[in-house]
Structure 1
Amino acid sequence: MAMQIDTEDLDVYYGDFLAVEGVSMTIAPRSVTALIGPSGCGKSTFLRTLNRMHEVIPGARVDGSVKINGEDLYGSKVDPVDVRRKVGMVFQRPNPFPTMSIADNVLAGVKLNGGRLPKAEADAIVEKALRGANLWEEVKDRLDKPGSSLSGGQQQRLCIARAIAVEPDVILMDEPCSALDPISTIAIEELIEQLKADYTIVIVTHNMQQAARVSDRTAFFNLAGAGKPGKLVEYDDTSLIFSAPKNKQTADYVAGRFG
């Protein structure tokens, strides 16, 4: 079930340092939202608040609210592990567990959440997740080989399979193509287009063309200077952000005048 995400007056801190200030936005279910902006403007930090990965860093905290289908992720009774099961994350560099087989990589999160599985059930989860990540046909004859034996683009799709195996509601992607070649990048972009039929997807990207290609809506973040917090400057339909932005900062950024 795809979920709507709402943030309201979200401030994100590392210790005393305010890294991201006052972000309020609504991310629609079954859509792709791209977060763009110069380095250091808080895109990845904001992304990590959406599944409580941010607070893994000592001293990190948030003020304000993040709600998924109306439930506050930071509520006192909410288990962060449960949040991370519902909100999967795919990182910049493909990070399959190198000593685990392809199949065990897919099952890693499932086993963490639920313990042992009957073989037939495990096999079904592996096939479904690998098909969902458009990887099954390439790896079905070598599921017992290490995840690290795959190419970079295949490893990233394996990480996506691992994320979707636990049946999350939301998938976060932090620059998922920045370490990949153009052909692998196209494969991931096509996959994102397919996955949004079932998931709410938020992607951080430095690649403007990619944001324009894959996303329905785009959020532009910027900061006033070094040591200042990142802020959400403009958030709109992607076609408008790239063709008729309302804010001059956005216009300058998408035209390549800075960043």
Structure 2
Amino acid sequence: MAKRLDLKDVDIYYGSFQAVDGVTLSIPPNSVTAFIGPSGCGKSTVLRALNRMHEVVPGARVEGEVLLDGEDIYAPNVDPVSVRRTIGMVFQRPNPFPTMSIRDNVVAGLKLQGVKNKKVLDEVAERSLRGANLWNEVKDRLNKPGGSLSGGQQQRLCIARAIAVQPEVLLMDEPCSALDPISTLAIEDLIANLKKQYTIVIVTHNMQQAARVSDQTAFFNLRATGEPGRLVEIGDTEKVFSTPTEKATEDYISGRFG
């Protein structure tokens, strides 16, 4: 089941540097939320905080609350690994394990969890590749290396790997920035289908992409270089793009800055 995310007064730090200041927003289940804004405004930092991925950077920490269906994912008794299993992530550049087969790429997470039953692994591989709209393209070469696929196929392979462990939320950090227009369209169509099962948050620099794929859009900005990023406004995508509340949002969307 897709789950709801709520951020309440979230501050994010890297050591003594405050990267993000006072973000409060809600992400409803079975929807696509787009984070937009200029480089360095904290949108990818907020995205990584949603599944505690930012913690891989020494000295990084979050203050405030990040709630998954009302449960604080930063509570002392919560295991970050279980959080990342529930809230999957797809990165900017496709990152399949290049020498591992297509099939083994998909089920890598399950194998790490100790699943060894070949029948189960084969079933999950097929279901996940179908879910990522890749099965028909690779079903006859599942034992070929994941690195042998095209860039767009590799990104869909990474999405298949993310959904194989049956997360409830999918985070995507500029998943189309390294792809050609046809592959980008395939990923966007896939996102529209995946939101029936998952809650999706996507960071994108592409205004048209945000307008096409998302149900709500959050605009981030920073007051000046060196200042922390902050959420300027969030709302239904159609409204944010047509009649934004804040002038800074209008200026960014219309191309006056950023």
Query: TM-score normalized by structure 1?
Result: 0.99
4+ residue runs of structure 1 moved beyond 2 angstroms? none
Shift of 1:112: 1.3
In structure 2, the residue matched to 1:168 is 167
Cα deviation for residue 117 of structure 1 reads 2.1
Alignment of 1:56-71 (within 5 A): 56-71=56-71
| Whole-Å separation in 2 of the counterparts to 1:89 and 1:81 | 12
Q: 1:129-148 CA distances to partner (integer Å, 9 max, x unpaired)?
A: 00000000000000000000
Residue 82 of structure 2 is aligned to residue 85 of structure 1: no
- Distance in structure 2 (CA, Å) of the matches to 1:36 and 1:21: 16
Post-superposition offset of 1:45 = 0.2
Task: Please say if 1:130 is aligned against 2:129.
Answer: yes
One-letter amino acid of the structure 1 residue matched with residue 60 of structure 2: A
Higher mean alpha-carbon deviation, 116-125 vs 200-209, is at: 116-125
Match of 2:208 in 1: 209
Deviation at 1:66, TM superposition (A): 0.2
Per the alignment, in what secondary structure is the counterpart of residue 201 of structure 1? strand
Supply the distance in 1 between the matched residues of 2:155 and 2:12 (Cα, whole angstroms): 28
RMSD: 0.5
* In 2: Cα distance, 1:74 partner to 1:118 partner: 33
Q: Does 1:254 align with 2:247?
A: no
The alpha-carbon deviation at position 99 of structure 1 amounts to: 1.2
Aligned equivalents of 1:239, 1:13: Cα separation in 2: 32
Letter in 2 for 1:48: R
Counterpart of 2:43 in structure 1 is 43
User: Does residue 241 in structure 1 map to residue 240 in structure 2?
Assistant: yes
Unaligned runs of 5+ in 2: none
Question: What does residue range 101-250 of structure 1 map to in structure 2 within 5 Å?
Answer: 101-113=101-113, 115-250=114-249
Deviation at 1:158, TM superposition (A): 0.1
| Cα offset, 1:116, TM superposition | 3.5
SS of residue matched to 1:130: helix
Matches of 2:182 and 2:250, distance apart in 1: 29
User: What one-letter code is carried by the residue in structure 2 that aligns with 1:143?
Assistant: L
TM-score scaled to structure 2, two decimals? 0.99
Q: CA deviation at 1:55?
A: 0.9
Q: Structure 2 CA distance, aligned partners of 1:25 and 1:257? A: 26
Partner of 1:210, secondary structure, is helix
Where do 5+ consecutive residues of structure 1 fail to align? none
| Structure 1 Cα separation of the partners of residues 90 and 18 of structure 2 | 25
| Counterparts of 2:217 and 2:110, CA distance in 1 | 32
AA at the equivalent of 1:179: A
Matching residue of 1:24: 24
Distance 1:118 1:19 in 2: 44
| % identity of equivalent residues | 71
Whole-angstrom CA distance in 2 between matches of 1:135 and 1:51: 26
How far residue 174 of structure 1 moved from its aligned partner, in angstroms, is 0.1
Amino acid at match of 1:227: G
Report how many residues are paired.
Answer: 258
Could you tell me how far apart the structure 2 residues matched to 1:207 and 1:164 are? 24
Give the superposition deviation at 1:120: 1.0
SS of the equivalent of 1:35 reads strand
